Amino acid sequence: MSPSRIARASLCAMLPALLAACGDGGIPEVKQWMDETRRQTKVVVPKLTEPKKFTPFTYAGKSAADPYSPAKFVNATAAPSGTGNRFQPNTDRRREPLETFPLDNLKMVGTLRKQGASFALVQAEHTLFQAKVGNYIGQNFGQITKITDSEVELKEIVQDAAGEWVERTAKLELQEIKK
């Protein structure tokens, strides 16, 4: 017989002797200790706090204008009479391609000079556009006012909290194209 077979045979012969030695000599002591521990342990459940009383809100402004009414939005976009709101955007003109993108989705990636005129190279999604001073850009009626080698300056026309059209400046700074 091979040495590995002898080792297996002797292990099989000793296994019943080892299992018989284990017996249940310590099991009654463990059961007694568990029962005693269960009797001595007191279950403590903290008392739940009383729930807050619900008081329904009553809307008292039923006679006021509905804040979500489309008519209110139309009134807010119309220029107030007599204020001479000079920043009213021209909504009758044809929209330019760069006006379909929000300003934060546009990147200036370079400049180009043709016949003495400066053009900004603006990337929107994966398309490259040429833009010059006077072109409209962004979704807030932004118009390019100045192009330098490092940035495009523009003025946007937006509504303030009172519904008045106001002018604000914005910039697109030169960015590197990620390959």
Amino acid 69: pLDDT: 67
Per-residue pLDDT, averaged over 34-51, amounts to 89
Amino acid 144: pLDDT: 93
Q: Residues of the chain with pLDDT > 90: what percent?
A: 31
Q: How far is CA 115 from CA 56, 119, 146, 153, in A?
A: 71, 11, 17, 21
pTM (2 decimals)?
A: 0.51
The DSSP code for 96 is P
Per-residue pLDDT, averaged over 72-79, amounts to 54
Tokens 């039923």, residue located: 62
